[in-house]
Chain A
């Protein structure tokens, strides 16, 4: 196979660049539409063809943040997301570490079972969770939704962390044992710091799942613990005049996650690419 000539390579690079620009634009279109809708008056929002020049208004953004209990729902979402992350990541990491250190023939069936749970339709799990929640009188409480989200999130966290722990040589555990560490100390002092990029990725995925989750939140929460995705859905309804408000709510719900992503972007990239190149 001959190497591509320099002008040929440059042309390929341009084609890829343009294709990626188109792809990015297609992906961002709904977001741009939402931003524009949130800044328009409902009369302008649904004109065909769409109005390009309009008088932007922050009225609906202000309304979202000051009225409609948006901050209350946001707090619920943050409490539930934080609770899910703080249980899911440590529990999943411990399980993944153990699975990475036991013989493959023992770990294999457990990992396969976890994979099966992951493939199980969440809709079918929501009903038993509702029944259990009712039985335990826990409907519309934080712990119920947190535990449900932890349960559906665990397989992914364990699989992800398992891959990270496999990358960490077993010699390090053994060196730590000889140096005077108990199993727990070896995990905490030697292994865990090395798995930090993986834990960051696991935490972010866990956060995204729990923050955006709609089905379980709709079924297991009520007035006290309703989360933002459920609340936003009720902002608009069928009334076209409320769609600008809904769009402003959608932008509002995105902000915390975008902020977290921007802050942890460096760790995220490192975590996602860890182990890709032998170093």
Chain B
């Protein structure tokens, strides 16, 4: 267990800069998820922490010690790879004990620690098997076992669940979370799946184009996204984002695409101001006298009803938890609560409302 600090980290590949002065403070025992679209630099940042890529400038401190120029083996970290990277010619026990063997641990100690880790991960019956004889989920657990057996200061996970099917992914998600609660080791976890980020993290770092867009707890990011990118990235289905101007009474919103939306109370912005208005699908409700809309598409997920609506030429997605009997092409009226609205500056795309 150790705190991890990334100070103004930059990384360039030739003339292409992929990380632009990233600074993140991670507390001892914290579970931090780096999330962002492909090419945002999250995996590169993880590889910098691991020492698999050389940092161009800036620093990486583990437990207060600058490790940015150290070989991976000297950083006291363990990593779970997307491909698991299990050694095909070694058994599960040999894979798990390999790091201990390389550090000169006695065979008794190796056996004891591998046994402990196997017990935690329910791998006892598989210790003599080879990776090719294991299922995807079992390989995933072996990869984690290899990481925990050495009791490192920091765990690094590079999209470890992306090769698993949906059901197993949900199961492994909770297993990793449970493991973290048990071990209390600092974890940096990379994913492009915002559901994974929301469900697992103590703290989420949203990245885009080599920059950190926002750092905060999952609910902070959900309730108060710092900008349009975070607002659109966190949450599923994504937040509805509409360009327009605040109406003269501050209770309506004139869409750039034409038409207007009516809100239940005044919006927190001055009339006439150009903004991007965001409203989460689950905050949209049906009413008798709100903004008129037409049902375009209905997607029942079982638990919820996702409805795509046309509001004066703009698309709005709504999520209803009730089983409504809506039909495609039906005219409805939407209630848009003003206190659930997120407002962003039209120019800078940064958050306006508190």
Contact = CB atoms under 8 A, between A and B. Distances in A.
B88 A194 contact: yes
Nearest to A183: B71
B85 A181 contact: no
B73 interface: yes
Interface stretch (B74-82, B121-129, B171-179, B197-205): B74-82
B103 A180 contact: yes
B102 interface: yes
Contacts, number: 55
Contacts of A182: 71, 73
Given A171-B81, A185-B102, A178 B72 contact: yes
Contacts of B79: 174-175, 178
Nearest to B89: A193
Interface in B195-223: none
Given A179-B73, A194-B88, A194-B89, A174 B52 contact: yes
Nearest to B87: A190
B89 A181 contact: no
B285 interface: no
B73 A180 contact: yes
B85 A171 contact: yes
Given A171-B81, A171-B83, A174-B52, A179 B89 contact: no
Interface majority SS (helix, strand, loop, mixed), chain A:
helix
Contacts of B102: 179-181, 185
B244 to A, nearest CB: 48
A196 to B, nearest CB: 9
Contacts of A180: 73, 99, 102-103
A89 B103 CA distance: 30
A171 B78 CA distance: 13
A190 B86 CA distance: 10
A169 interface: yes
Interface in A154-205: 169, 171-172, 174-182, 185, 190, 193-194
Nearest to A185: B102
Contacts of A193: 89
Contacts of A181: 73, 102
A174 B103 CA distance: 16
Contacts of B98: 176, 179
A232 B209 CA distance: 70
Contact of A169 (B52, B73, B85): B85
Interface of B: 50-52, 71-73, 77-79, 81-83, 85-89, 98-99, 102-103, 132, 146
Interface of A: 169, 171-172, 174-182, 185, 190, 193-194, 279
19 contacts: A172-B85, A174-B52, A174-B81, A174-B85, A175-B81, A176-B87, A177-B51, A177-B73, A178-B50, A178-B73, A178-B79, A179-B73, A179-B98, A180-B73, A180-B102, A180-B103, A181-B73, A182-B71, A193-B89
